[in-house]
Chain A
Amino acid sequence: MALGWAGLYGPMALGAIGSMIGCALAGQAACGALLETETGHGRYIGIAAMPSSQSIYGIVVMFALNREITPESAPGLAAIGLLCGLALLFSAAWQGRCCASAINVAKIRPEIFGMSLAPAAIVEGFAVFAFIFALVISAGVPA
Protein backbone atom coordinates (compact mmCIF):
# COMPACT_ATOMS: atom_id res chain seq x y z
CA MET A 1 0.00 0.00 0.00
CA ALA A 2 2.85 2.38 0.87
CA LEU A 3 4.45 1.68 -2.50
CA GLY A 4 1.12 2.53 -4.11
CA TRP A 5 1.18 5.96 -2.48
CA ALA A 6 4.85 6.38 -3.47
CA GLY A 7 3.92 5.50 -7.05
CA LEU A 8 1.13 8.05 -7.02
CA TYR A 9 3.24 10.93 -5.77
CA GLY A 10 6.52 9.70 -7.32
CA PRO A 11 6.22 11.24 -10.81
CA MET A 12 5.49 14.64 -9.33
CA ALA A 13 8.21 14.55 -6.65
CA LEU A 14 10.93 12.98 -8.78
CA GLY A 15 10.09 15.22 -11.76
CA ALA A 16 10.33 18.25 -9.48
CA ILE A 17 13.70 17.12 -8.10
CA GLY A 18 14.99 16.69 -11.65
CA SER A 19 13.68 20.11 -12.65
CA MET A 20 15.38 21.69 -9.63
CA ILE A 21 18.73 20.17 -10.59
CA GLY A 22 18.36 20.95 -14.30
CA CYS A 23 17.12 24.52 -13.84
CA ALA A 24 19.84 25.18 -11.27
CA LEU A 25 22.61 24.03 -13.61
CA ALA A 26 21.27 25.88 -16.63
CA GLY A 27 20.44 28.91 -14.47
CA GLN A 28 24.01 29.13 -13.19
CA ALA A 29 25.28 29.04 -16.76
CA ALA A 30 22.75 31.73 -17.75
CA CYS A 31 23.95 33.98 -14.92
CA GLY A 32 27.52 33.68 -16.18
CA ALA A 33 26.40 34.50 -19.73
CA LEU A 34 24.55 37.60 -18.47
CA LEU A 35 27.83 38.86 -17.07
CA GLU A 36 29.63 38.35 -20.35
CA THR A 37 27.05 39.54 -22.93
CA GLU A 38 25.31 42.83 -23.62
CA THR A 39 22.17 41.51 -25.35
CA GLY A 40 20.03 38.37 -25.66
CA HIS A 41 19.61 37.97 -21.91
CA GLY A 42 15.99 36.89 -22.20
CA ARG A 43 16.79 33.84 -24.27
CA TYR A 44 19.42 32.64 -21.82
CA ILE A 45 16.88 32.75 -19.00
CA GLY A 46 14.37 31.05 -21.31
CA ILE A 47 16.75 28.15 -21.96
CA ALA A 48 17.47 27.88 -18.24
CA ALA A 49 13.75 27.25 -17.63
CA MET A 50 13.55 24.37 -20.13
CA PRO A 51 14.00 21.56 -17.56
CA SER A 52 10.92 22.75 -15.65
CA SER A 53 8.63 20.92 -18.10
CA GLN A 54 9.36 17.59 -16.39
CA SER A 55 7.59 18.83 -13.25
CA ILE A 56 4.48 19.56 -15.32
CA TYR A 57 4.60 16.08 -16.87
CA GLY A 58 4.92 14.67 -13.35
CA ILE A 59 1.82 16.54 -12.18
CA VAL A 60 -0.22 15.28 -15.15
CA VAL A 61 0.90 11.66 -14.60
CA MET A 62 0.07 12.01 -10.90
CA PHE A 63 -3.49 13.09 -11.76
CA ALA A 64 -3.80 10.28 -14.31
CA LEU A 65 -2.77 7.74 -11.67
CA ASN A 66 -4.94 9.26 -8.95
CA ARG A 67 -7.38 6.60 -7.79
CA GLU A 68 -8.20 4.64 -4.68
CA ILE A 69 -5.12 2.78 -3.42
CA THR A 70 -6.04 -0.89 -3.02
CA PRO A 71 -3.93 -4.07 -2.87
CA GLU A 72 -4.90 -4.61 -6.52
CA SER A 73 -3.95 -1.13 -7.79
CA ALA A 74 -0.88 -0.47 -5.60
CA PRO A 75 1.71 -2.58 -7.55
CA GLY A 76 0.70 -1.01 -10.86
CA LEU A 77 0.78 2.50 -9.44
CA ALA A 78 4.19 1.90 -7.86
CA ALA A 79 5.73 0.50 -11.04
CA ILE A 80 4.40 3.17 -13.39
CA GLY A 81 4.76 6.11 -11.01
CA LEU A 82 8.27 5.40 -9.76
CA LEU A 83 9.74 4.45 -13.13
CA CYS A 84 8.14 7.42 -14.86
CA GLY A 85 9.38 9.65 -12.03
CA LEU A 86 12.94 8.37 -12.40
CA ALA A 87 12.83 8.93 -16.16
CA LEU A 88 11.65 12.50 -15.59
CA LEU A 89 14.29 13.10 -12.91
CA PHE A 90 17.22 11.99 -15.05
CA SER A 91 15.94 13.70 -18.19
CA ALA A 92 15.55 17.03 -16.37
CA ALA A 93 18.99 16.84 -14.74
CA TRP A 94 20.75 15.99 -17.98
CA GLN A 95 18.69 18.47 -19.95
CA GLY A 96 20.03 21.10 -17.56
CA ARG A 97 23.57 20.18 -18.59
CA CYS A 98 22.62 20.34 -22.27
CA CYS A 99 21.08 23.77 -21.69
CA ALA A 100 24.23 24.99 -19.90
CA SER A 101 26.34 23.90 -22.87
CA ALA A 102 23.88 25.55 -25.27
CA ILE A 103 24.13 28.82 -23.32
CA ASN A 104 27.92 28.60 -23.35
CA VAL A 105 28.21 28.15 -27.11
CA ALA A 106 25.36 30.54 -27.98
CA LYS A 107 27.20 33.21 -25.99
CA ILE A 108 30.27 32.73 -28.19
CA ARG A 109 28.41 32.37 -31.50
CA PRO A 110 24.84 33.71 -31.28
CA GLU A 111 24.08 32.51 -34.83
CA ILE A 112 24.11 28.86 -33.71
CA PHE A 113 21.64 29.50 -30.89
CA GLY A 114 18.89 27.37 -32.45
CA MET A 115 21.16 24.48 -33.37
CA SER A 116 22.76 24.44 -29.92
CA LEU A 117 19.34 23.65 -28.42
CA ALA A 118 18.99 20.41 -30.39
CA PRO A 119 20.55 18.15 -27.69
CA ALA A 120 18.26 19.63 -25.03
CA ALA A 121 15.25 19.12 -27.33
CA ILE A 122 16.20 15.48 -27.93
CA VAL A 123 16.42 14.86 -24.17
CA GLU A 124 13.01 16.52 -23.82
CA GLY A 125 11.71 14.08 -26.44
CA PHE A 126 12.63 11.13 -24.21
CA ALA A 127 10.87 12.76 -21.26
CA VAL A 128 7.77 13.12 -23.46
CA PHE A 129 7.95 9.39 -24.32
CA ALA A 130 8.04 8.47 -20.63
CA PHE A 131 5.16 10.85 -19.93
CA ILE A 132 2.88 9.75 -22.80
CA PHE A 133 3.33 6.03 -22.23
CA ALA A 134 2.79 6.44 -18.49
CA LEU A 135 -0.57 8.03 -19.36
CA VAL A 136 -1.42 5.23 -21.81
CA ILE A 137 -0.50 2.45 -19.37
CA SER A 138 -2.18 4.10 -16.39
CA ALA A 139 -5.55 3.29 -18.00
CA GLY A 140 -4.87 -0.39 -17.31
CA VAL A 141 -4.36 0.02 -13.54
CA PRO A 142 -7.45 -1.19 -11.63
CA ALA A 143 -9.49 1.69 -10.25
Chain B
Amino acid sequence: MSDYYTLLTALPWLADIEQCKQLPISRIALDKRLTMLADEDRDQLVMIESLYHPNWSHFDGQVDKELVGVWQREMSKIQSPVLLELIHFHMELRTLVGALRTRAAGVENPERFYGVGRWVVRIRKHWFEPGFGLEGICPQLNALQRLMAKDNPVLVEQYINQQLWNNLCQAERQYHFSFEAVACYVLRWAIAERNQQHDGEAALQQFTASTKRLLEQSSLQQQLSQGCGE
Protein backbone atom coordinates (compact mmCIF):
# COMPACT_ATOMS: atom_id res chain seq x y z
CA MET B 1 0.00 0.00 0.00
CA SER B 2 1.47 3.33 -1.09
CA ASP B 3 1.24 6.88 0.16
CA TYR B 4 -1.07 9.23 -1.71
CA TYR B 5 0.14 12.79 -1.23
CA THR B 6 -1.24 14.12 -4.51
CA LEU B 7 -4.56 12.32 -4.27
CA LEU B 8 -5.36 13.37 -0.71
CA THR B 9 -4.56 17.02 -1.27
CA ALA B 10 -6.62 16.91 -4.47
CA LEU B 11 -9.73 15.88 -2.53
CA PRO B 12 -11.93 18.73 -1.28
CA TRP B 13 -12.69 19.15 2.39
CA LEU B 14 -15.73 17.27 3.67
CA ALA B 15 -17.35 19.31 6.43
CA ASP B 16 -18.93 17.66 9.47
CA ILE B 17 -21.90 15.47 8.60
CA GLU B 18 -24.41 17.88 10.14
CA GLN B 19 -22.98 20.85 8.24
CA CYS B 20 -22.48 18.97 4.97
CA LYS B 21 -25.51 20.26 3.07
CA GLN B 22 -23.92 19.88 -0.33
CA LEU B 23 -21.35 17.37 -1.53
CA PRO B 24 -18.10 19.18 -2.41
CA ILE B 25 -17.33 16.69 -5.18
CA SER B 26 -19.51 14.50 -7.40
CA ARG B 27 -19.06 10.74 -7.64
CA ILE B 28 -17.82 11.11 -11.23
CA ALA B 29 -15.17 13.66 -10.21
CA LEU B 30 -14.24 11.55 -7.17
CA ASP B 31 -13.82 8.45 -9.34
CA LYS B 32 -11.60 10.47 -11.69
CA ARG B 33 -9.34 11.43 -8.78
CA LEU B 34 -9.32 7.84 -7.55
CA THR B 35 -7.67 6.75 -10.78
CA MET B 36 -4.47 7.88 -9.02
CA LEU B 37 -4.73 4.78 -6.83
CA ALA B 38 -2.58 1.76 -7.57
CA ASP B 39 -4.52 -1.13 -9.17
CA GLU B 40 -4.30 -3.29 -6.07
CA ASP B 41 -5.52 -0.46 -3.82
CA ARG B 42 -8.36 0.32 -6.21
CA ASP B 43 -9.56 -3.29 -6.00
CA GLN B 44 -9.30 -3.16 -2.23
CA LEU B 45 -11.29 0.08 -2.13
CA VAL B 46 -14.10 -1.42 -4.22
CA MET B 47 -14.26 -4.36 -1.82
CA ILE B 48 -14.16 -2.11 1.25
CA GLU B 49 -16.95 0.11 -0.12
CA SER B 50 -19.13 -2.91 -0.90
CA LEU B 51 -18.70 -4.15 2.67
CA TYR B 52 -19.12 -0.79 4.37
CA HIS B 53 -21.98 0.47 2.22
CA PRO B 54 -23.56 -2.72 0.86
CA ASN B 55 -26.16 -2.68 -1.86
CA TRP B 56 -28.90 -4.60 -0.10
CA SER B 57 -30.69 -5.46 -3.32
CA HIS B 58 -27.79 -7.83 -4.11
CA PHE B 59 -28.68 -9.88 -1.04
CA ASP B 60 -32.41 -10.27 -1.71
CA GLY B 61 -33.63 -13.76 -0.90
CA GLN B 62 -30.62 -14.65 1.25
CA VAL B 63 -31.20 -15.63 4.86
CA ASP B 64 -29.17 -14.00 7.66
CA LYS B 65 -26.97 -17.07 8.16
CA GLU B 66 -25.88 -17.10 4.51
CA LEU B 67 -25.35 -13.36 4.56
CA VAL B 68 -23.03 -13.57 7.56
CA GLY B 69 -21.06 -16.31 5.79
CA VAL B 70 -20.66 -14.19 2.64
CA TRP B 71 -19.64 -11.26 4.78
CA GLN B 72 -16.96 -13.15 6.65
CA ARG B 73 -15.51 -14.55 3.42
CA GLU B 74 -15.30 -11.06 1.91
CA MET B 75 -13.80 -9.60 5.10
CA SER B 76 -10.92 -12.07 4.92
CA LYS B 77 -9.85 -10.45 1.63
CA ILE B 78 -9.25 -7.03 3.20
CA GLN B 79 -5.53 -6.48 3.71
CA SER B 80 -5.46 -3.39 5.92
CA PRO B 81 -6.08 -4.19 9.62
CA VAL B 82 -7.10 -0.56 10.19
CA LEU B 83 -9.85 -0.72 7.58
CA LEU B 84 -10.89 -4.15 8.75
CA GLU B 85 -11.36 -2.67 12.23
CA LEU B 86 -13.49 0.16 10.80
CA ILE B 87 -15.73 -2.28 8.93
CA HIS B 88 -16.04 -4.38 12.08
CA PHE B 89 -17.12 -1.32 14.05
CA HIS B 90 -19.84 -0.60 11.49
CA MET B 91 -21.04 -4.18 11.42
CA GLU B 92 -21.11 -4.42 15.20
CA LEU B 93 -23.34 -1.35 15.38
CA ARG B 94 -25.65 -2.85 12.74
CA THR B 95 -25.63 -6.18 14.57
CA LEU B 96 -26.67 -4.44 17.77
CA VAL B 97 -29.52 -2.61 16.03
CA GLY B 98 -30.52 -5.88 14.37
CA ALA B 99 -30.60 -7.66 17.72
CA LEU B 100 -32.73 -4.94 19.32
CA ARG B 101 -35.16 -5.01 16.40
CA THR B 102 -35.32 -8.82 16.26
CA ARG B 103 -36.09 -9.02 19.95
CA ALA B 104 -38.64 -6.20 19.69
CA ALA B 105 -40.32 -8.18 16.87
CA GLY B 106 -40.96 -10.98 19.37
CA VAL B 107 -38.31 -13.54 18.39
CA GLU B 108 -37.77 -15.63 21.51
CA ASN B 109 -35.14 -18.07 20.29
CA PRO B 110 -31.73 -16.31 20.30
CA GLU B 111 -30.25 -19.04 18.08
CA ARG B 112 -32.28 -17.58 15.23
CA PHE B 113 -30.30 -14.37 15.46
CA TYR B 114 -27.20 -13.93 13.30
CA GLY B 115 -24.74 -11.06 13.28
CA VAL B 116 -21.12 -10.05 12.77
CA GLY B 117 -18.50 -9.12 15.36
CA ARG B 118 -17.41 -9.66 18.93
CA TRP B 119 -20.81 -9.31 20.55
CA VAL B 120 -22.86 -11.99 18.78
CA VAL B 121 -22.18 -14.77 21.31
CA ARG B 122 -22.85 -12.43 24.22
CA ILE B 123 -26.06 -11.15 22.63
CA ARG B 124 -27.37 -14.72 22.21
CA LYS B 125 -26.35 -15.66 25.74
CA HIS B 126 -28.05 -12.64 27.33
CA TRP B 127 -30.96 -12.40 24.87
CA PHE B 128 -33.58 -11.69 27.50
CA GLU B 129 -31.58 -9.05 29.38
CA PRO B 130 -32.43 -5.44 28.39
CA GLY B 131 -28.87 -4.56 27.28
CA PHE B 132 -27.74 -8.06 26.22
CA GLY B 133 -25.15 -7.88 29.02
CA LEU B 134 -23.28 -5.26 27.00
CA GLU B 135 -23.76 -2.35 29.41
CA GLY B 136 -20.38 -0.81 30.08
CA ILE B 137 -18.82 -2.64 27.12
CA CYS B 138 -20.67 -0.98 24.26
CA PRO B 139 -20.93 2.80 24.75
CA GLN B 140 -23.49 3.15 21.94
CA LEU B 141 -26.00 0.74 23.48
CA ASN B 142 -27.86 3.17 25.73
CA ALA B 143 -28.27 5.79 23.03
CA LEU B 144 -29.50 3.19 20.53
CA GLN B 145 -32.03 1.78 23.00
CA ARG B 146 -33.28 5.28 23.82
CA LEU B 147 -33.67 6.22 20.15
CA MET B 148 -35.32 2.93 19.21
CA ALA B 149 -37.82 3.38 22.00
CA LYS B 150 -38.96 6.55 20.21
CA ASP B 151 -39.86 4.35 17.23
CA ASN B 152 -38.17 6.74 14.79
CA PRO B 153 -35.79 4.88 12.43
CA VAL B 154 -34.48 8.17 11.00
CA LEU B 155 -33.05 9.17 14.40
CA VAL B 156 -31.38 5.76 14.76
CA GLU B 157 -29.87 6.05 11.28
CA GLN B 158 -28.63 9.58 12.03
CA TYR B 159 -27.00 8.41 15.24
CA ILE B 160 -25.29 5.48 13.49
CA ASN B 161 -24.07 7.77 10.71
CA GLN B 162 -22.63 10.19 13.24
CA GLN B 163 -20.81 7.37 15.03
CA LEU B 164 -19.40 6.01 11.78
CA TRP B 165 -18.39 9.50 10.67
CA ASN B 166 -16.48 10.15 13.92
CA ASN B 167 -14.80 6.76 13.69
CA LEU B 168 -13.68 7.40 10.10
CA CYS B 169 -12.48 10.95 10.87
CA GLN B 170 -10.37 9.63 13.73
CA ALA B 171 -8.73 7.00 11.52
CA GLU B 172 -8.21 9.52 8.70
CA ARG B 173 -6.36 11.88 11.03
CA GLN B 174 -4.22 9.02 12.33
CA TYR B 175 -3.10 7.71 8.93
CA HIS B 176 -2.13 10.84 7.01
CA PHE B 177 -1.54 10.46 3.28
CA SER B 178 -1.94 6.68 3.32
CA PHE B 179 -4.37 4.38 1.52
CA GLU B 180 -6.31 4.14 4.78
CA ALA B 181 -6.88 7.92 4.69
CA VAL B 182 -8.14 7.70 1.09
CA ALA B 183 -10.50 4.85 1.97
CA CYS B 184 -11.82 6.75 5.02
CA TYR B 185 -12.48 9.80 2.86
CA VAL B 186 -14.41 7.76 0.28
CA LEU B 187 -16.45 6.04 2.98
CA ARG B 188 -17.25 9.40 4.59
CA TRP B 189 -18.25 10.77 1.20
CA ALA B 190 -20.69 7.88 0.80
CA ILE B 191 -22.21 8.55 4.24
CA ALA B 192 -22.67 12.22 3.34
CA GLU B 193 -24.23 11.26 0.02
CA ARG B 194 -26.65 8.80 1.67
CA ASN B 195 -27.56 11.46 4.21
CA GLN B 196 -28.35 13.94 1.48
CA GLN B 197 -30.32 11.40 -0.50
CA HIS B 198 -32.55 10.91 2.53
CA ASP B 199 -32.95 14.67 2.83
CA GLY B 200 -33.63 14.89 -0.89
CA GLU B 201 -36.28 12.17 -0.80
CA ALA B 202 -37.98 13.82 2.15
CA ALA B 203 -37.88 17.18 0.35
CA LEU B 204 -39.28 15.60 -2.81
CA GLN B 205 -42.14 13.98 -0.89
CA GLN B 206 -42.92 17.28 0.81
CA PHE B 207 -42.76 19.10 -2.52
CA THR B 208 -45.09 16.58 -4.19
CA ALA B 209 -47.58 16.75 -1.31
CA SER B 210 -47.55 20.56 -1.30
CA THR B 211 -47.97 20.73 -5.07
CA LYS B 212 -50.88 18.30 -4.95
CA ARG B 213 -52.55 20.27 -2.17
CA LEU B 214 -52.08 23.57 -3.99
CA LEU B 215 -53.39 22.14 -7.24
CA GLU B 216 -56.45 20.80 -5.47
CA GLN B 217 -57.10 24.23 -3.98
CA SER B 218 -56.42 26.18 -7.18
CA SER B 219 -59.21 27.73 -9.13
CA LEU B 220 -58.02 25.96 -12.24
CA GLN B 221 -58.72 22.60 -10.64
CA GLN B 222 -62.14 23.82 -9.47
CA GLN B 223 -62.94 25.10 -12.95
CA LEU B 224 -61.87 21.82 -14.47
CA SER B 225 -64.05 19.93 -11.99
CA GLN B 226 -66.99 22.17 -12.71
CA GLY B 227 -66.42 21.75 -16.46
CA CYS B 228 -66.47 18.00 -16.07
CA GLY B 229 -69.65 18.24 -13.97
CA GLU B 230 -71.49 20.25 -16.60
Chain A residues within 8 Å of B, Cβ to Cβ: 25-26, 28-33, 35-36, 97, 100-101, 103-104, 107-108
Instruction: Say whether A36 contacts B9, CB under 8 Å.
Output: yes
Taken together as a complex, chains A and B put the C-alpha atoms of A97 and B8 apart, in Å, by 13
Contact A32 B10, CB 8 Å, known A100-B5, A100-B177, A101-B176: yes
| Chain B: interface residue total (CB-CB under 8 A) | 13
Q: Is the interface of A mostly helix, strand, loop or mixed?
A: helix
Decide if A32 touches B13 in the complex (CB within 8 Å). no
Given contacts A29-B5, A31-B10, A35-B10, 12 further A-B contacts (CB under 8 A): A25-B3, A28-B5, A29-B9, A29-B177, A30-B9, A31-B9, A32-B5, A32-B10, A32-B11, A33-B9, A100-B5, A104-B9
Partner of B12, one of A26, A36, A100, A103: A36
Question: What 0/1 readout, one digit per residue, does chain B (169-181) give for beta carbons within 8 Å of chain A?
Answer: 0000000110000
A104 in contact with B8 (CB, 8 Å): yes
Task: Please provide the 10 A-B residue pairs with the shortest distance between their CB atoms, ordered closest to farther.
Answer: A32-B9, A28-B5, A32-B10, A32-B6, A35-B10, A108-B13, A29-B5, A28-B6, A29-B9, A33-B9
Count: A-B pairs, CB below 8 Å: 43
Give B1-40 as 1s and 0s: 1 = Cβ < 8 Å from A's Cβ atoms. Answer: 0010111111111000000000000000000010000000
Question: Which residues does chain B contribute within 8 Å of A29, judged by CB atoms?
Answer: 5-6, 8-9, 177
